[in-house]
């Protein structure tokens, strides 16, 4: 089903959001067409790290609150959950802290939803996968009947855009995300992996938090940017085509859309999508800052063979730069680096660029704005 609903919502005031989310879901068939009485439903939010909602790194808690209310009205049992990124173990103490800070505990209390505290990790065969024939996932994914995907619209330094498909990477337990980054350091391969994970998890409905997004150096170090929308659809691949276009990204600039198109999951063309509610041209955000470094590389990633991409990457790829006066010596960057390219010297981080795979996990998980992205001179010349 290619129907995508676009409904304006100017802020997170709960009554306004209730109206907007319900209207969006009603336009694509209503909650009862997705959730049946007795269904256990995982509300898969984006809880990348322990941050307050106003920093726009995570899904705003008003979204799972409203959707939990709707699931209960449909006779279902909502469970809010995610696996935060980072080096730490996926355990109850971490989840409790993240839920509290990100506002999910309050959302659960107000709506009647449960919070997931099951931290069991399971390997599940997935023979249909292109990159992965076994998926390592969190237990609740297998225990629920349905998944509602609730991503945040953001830019991303590795994948350009973080939306519906990318959000399902959160079903991979925290520390294992780094392992997957290491195994699939090529952006195109990583995009295929993300699609495998989305295909495996099969969310029945996606409702995107596009009220306030993140632009620039996302998914954690960017800036808040108002989009003013609730975006809903049954098909996450099609929804990403619409959402990306609203923030000024073409389908050929987003690796997950490129790979979705190659695999026949979407055409990448807005003309093939039935859009309900607002018209795309009326809600497109002007001057949404994109991660231009990654966009520039995607053009040659499309048509060059992998060995030439890797050669060019060595001269054109951005690198992490550590701002030592902001660094608190917490060591998160060192512990979360998949290839162990970062080491601490006298409490401050340094990177071995010969080992760096440019996944930017360090940048993504630094909570102190102590890691910037440096563009090589050759790339700066190309982008002038």
pLDDT in tens, the chain (384 residues): 689 999 999 999 999 999 999 999 999 999 999 999 999 999 999 999 899 999 999 999 999 999 999 999 999 999 999 998 765 667 899 999 999 999 999 999 999 999 999 999 999 999 999 999 999 999 999 999 999 999 999 999 889 999 999 999 999 997 788 888 878 888 899 999 999 999 999 999 999 999 999 999 889 889 999 999 999 999 999 999 999 999 999 999 999 999 999 999 999 999 999 999 999 999 999 999 988 655 544 544 545 566 666 666 555 567 788 999 999 999 989 988 888 899 999 999 999 988 888 777 887 788 888 888 776 655 444 444
* Distance separating alpha carbons of residues 88 and 46, to the nearest angstrom: 17
Q: What are the φ and ψ backbone dihedral angles of 329, each rounded to 5 degrees?
A: 60, 35
In this structure, what DSSP letter does residue 367 have? S
User: What is the structure's pLDDT at 175?
Assistant: 75
Q: Are 306 and 36 in contact (CB under 8 A)?
A: no
User: What is the structure's pLDDT at 359?
Assistant: 79
Closest CA to 205 of 148, 151, 165, 273: 148
User: What is the structure's pLDDT at 308?
Assistant: 64
Sequence-distant (≥ 6) Cβ neighbours of residue 264 within 8 angstroms: none
User: What is the structure's pLDDT at 361?
Assistant: 81
User: What is the structure's pLDDT at 364?
Assistant: 75
- Give the chain's domains with CATH numbers: 4-283 (3.40.50.11440), 304-382 (3.30.70.20)
* Distance separating alpha carbons of residues 148 and 208, to the nearest angstrom: 10
In this structure, what DSSP letter does residue 104 have? H
User: What is the structure's pLDDT at 296?
Assistant: 44
Q: Are 35 and 76 in contact (CB under 8 A)?
A: yes
Tokens of 346: 């006298």
**DSSP for 275-298, written as a single string:** EEES-HHHHPPTTPPP-HHHHHHH
User: What is the structure's pLDDT at 315?
Assistant: 58
* Distance separating alpha carbons of residues 342 and 328, to the nearest angstrom: 15
User: What is the structure's pLDDT at 277?
Assistant: 98
Q: Are 237 and 210 in contact (CB under 8 A)?
A: no
**What b/e string do you get for 57-82 counting C-beta neighbours within 10 Å, with b at 16 or more?**
bbbbbbbbbbbbbbbbebebbbbbbb
Residue in the block written with tokens 């010969």: 354
């Amino acid at each position: 089903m290619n129907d995508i609903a676009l409904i304006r919502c100017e802020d997170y005031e709960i009554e306004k959001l209730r109206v907007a989310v319900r209207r969006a879901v009603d336009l694509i068939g209503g909650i009862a067409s997705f959730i049946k009485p007795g269904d256990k439903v995982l509300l898969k939010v984006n809880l990348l790290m322990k941050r307050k909602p106003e920093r726009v790194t995570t899904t705003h808690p008003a979204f799972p609150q409203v959707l939990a209310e709707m699931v209960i009205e449909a006779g279902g049992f909502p469970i809010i959950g995610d696996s935060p990124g980072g080096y730490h173990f996926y355990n109850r103490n971490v989840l409790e802290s993240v839920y509290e800070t990100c506002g999910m505990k309050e959302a659960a209390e107000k709506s009647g939803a449960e919070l997931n505290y099951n931290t069991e990790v399971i390997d599940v065969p997935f023979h249909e996968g292109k990159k992965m024939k076994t998926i390592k996932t969190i237990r609740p994914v297998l225990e629920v009947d349905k998944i509602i995907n609730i991503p945040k619209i953001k830019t991303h330094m590795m994948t350009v855009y973080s939306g519906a498909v990318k959000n399902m990477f959160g079903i991979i337990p925290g520390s294992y995300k780094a392992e997957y980054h290491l195994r699939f350091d090529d952006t195109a391969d990583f995009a295929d992996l993300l699609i495998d994970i989305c295909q495996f998890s099969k969310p029945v409905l996606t409702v995107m938090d596009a009220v306030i997004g993140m632009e620039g150096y996302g998914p954690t170090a960017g800036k808040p940017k108002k989009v003013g929308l609730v975006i809903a659809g049954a098909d996450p691949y099609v929804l990403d085509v619409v959402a990306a276009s609203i923030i000024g990204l073409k389908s050929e600039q987003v690796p997950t859309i490129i790979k979705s198109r190659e695999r026949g999951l979407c055409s990448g063309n807005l003309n093939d999508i039935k859009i309900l509610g607002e018209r795309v041209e009326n809600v497109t955000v002007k001057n949404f800052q994109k991660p231009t470094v990654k966009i520039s590389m995607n053009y040659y990633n499309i048509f060059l063979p992998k060995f030439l991409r890797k050669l060019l990457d060595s001269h054109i790829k951005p690198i992490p730069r550590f701002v030592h006066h902001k660094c608190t010596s917490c060591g998160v960057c060192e512990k979360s680096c998949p290839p162990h390219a970062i080491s601490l010297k006298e409490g401050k981080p340094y990177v071995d660029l010969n080992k760096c795979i440019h996944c930017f996990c360090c940048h993504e998980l630094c909570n102190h704005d102590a890691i910037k992205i440096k563009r090589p001179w050759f790339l700066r010349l190309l982008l002038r």
